[in-house]
Chain A
């Protein structure tokens, strides 16, 4: 959370998980804090707070970004997908199912970022090599199990051509 001695308000409008959201916010509010504290979307996590770990990853206008490094006001008018918006039903996506099938989750804190990064990778490249998966995951850090099962999960998505985000 950033602080400022003279908060200034801003009327923010943006589309989150397909819904138009309007809120009055202080200009120094980070996108991550807006998602968690104003909207109650707790899937995006804060760990390092400085863009190293990827636990706060969301998809902004089609690209993965660290929501801890962005002010909410910067994305006024933008389109955001968080882990909560990945599936519009209660069903898991192929990627989420693969994480479960491969036991790729231990504490779970890094997983929303891992899943979103994996989804964007398969959207662009449905059949990545292990090296390509590792390259893409460089900005997502796991401190529990290491990365083998996470890479296995992304590699093992059953029907990668059907997955991905619009």
Chain B
């Protein structure tokens, strides 16, 4: 296995385009990739470590948005005050993410590109409508996260293209994150949810709920939230509206039946203001 550490994006593209070999892989924090090798997956002929690309660590704050470099660690997200105040669901997910050793190494870009249906940062990023910046050799494009993740482990990345940054618009929404796991930390989520909202009195001016580990990708419960906002649904309709958007499966962590019960329960607890009681 040949190992490379390009130190600029230009150097990365020169290298990447010279490796027409199909067994070239990209490495960020390695916390998902290394266990795959441990389990016997064949190592690639070429491994390109992105961690020397200093541009991918920048966190840029403007009045209208925050832009987070793809190599920003989960620990850095957990400690970021602006995220804590304005993108609480994402900061909460980062705080409860695995253990310290993994948070120090794992990256936001890796969590996105890994495209796990249970990735803990993803519901918050979906519910806040994150936009991803992808750069190719002669192109740059912006893609909404729900158009980027296509299925478990599948993304819209083209050959040689890399995810460089994640942009979140500062709309000053309230938000919250909830996960159910077999233990509090170090456990892949059975389900995870992010709630992003703006409420005036009893009325939701904005409401977005995204949940993970209940479908091949994270899903937004738009049938539920749109009818709550325009007041065309009643509480007795909510379970059915939620079920219309999810398609959980049985796996080693929980059954589909359990997931179909726990998601409406958590959503209703949130809507009734009793999520953390």
Q: Hey, which bits of chain A sit against chain B, CB under 8 A?
A: 2-4, 6-8, 10, 27-28, 30, 49-52, 54, 57, 63-66, 68-71, 73-74, 76, 117, 120, 135-141
Contacts and interface: CB of A to CB of B under 8 A. Distances in A.
Interface residues of B, number: 28
B35 interface: yes
Interface in B78-119: 98-102, 104-105
B58 interface: no
B60 interface: no
Contacts of A6: 1, 45
A140 B104 contact: no
Query: Among the interface residues B2, B30, B99, which one has the most CB atoms of the partner chain A within 10 A?
Result: B99
A4 B43 CA distance: 6
25 contacts: A2-B38, A4-B1, A27-B1, A28-B37, A50-B38, A51-B98, A64-B100, A64-B104, A65-B104, A68-B34, A68-B38, A69-B30, A69-B31, A69-B102, A70-B30, A70-B105, A71-B47, A74-B27, A74-B51, A120-B100, A135-B185, A138-B98, A138-B100, A139-B99, A139-B101
A117 B100 contact: yes
B105 A66 contact: yes
B184 interface: yes
Contact of B30 (A4, A49, A71, A120): A71
Contact of A65 (B35, B49, B101): B101
A6 B102 CA distance: 29
B38 to A, nearest CB: 5
Nearest to B186: A138
Contacts of B2: 8, 27
B3 interface: yes
Contact of B34 (A52, A69, A76, A117): A69
Given A2-B38, A68-B38, A73-B3, 12 more contacts: A3-B43, A4-B1, A7-B1, A50-B35, A51-B35, A51-B98, A51-B101, A51-B102, A64-B104, A71-B30, A138-B185, A139-B100
A22 B194 CA distance: 47
A8 B184 CA distance: 41
A51 B34 contact: yes
B37 A2 contact: yes
B3 A140 contact: no
Contacts of A27: 1-3, 47
Contacts of A71: 3, 30, 34, 47
Interface string B220-263: 00000000000000000000000000000000000000000000
B270 to A, nearest CB: 24
Contacts of B185: 135, 138-139
A157 B251 CA distance: 43
Given A57-B101, A138-B100, A140-B99, A70 B1 contact: no
A2 B41 CA distance: 10
Contacts of B5: 76
B25 to A, nearest CB: 12
Contacts of A74: 27, 30, 49, 51
Contacts of A137: 99
Contacts of B99: 54, 137-140
A139 B102 CA distance: 8
B101 A2 contact: no
Contacts of B105: 65-66, 69-70
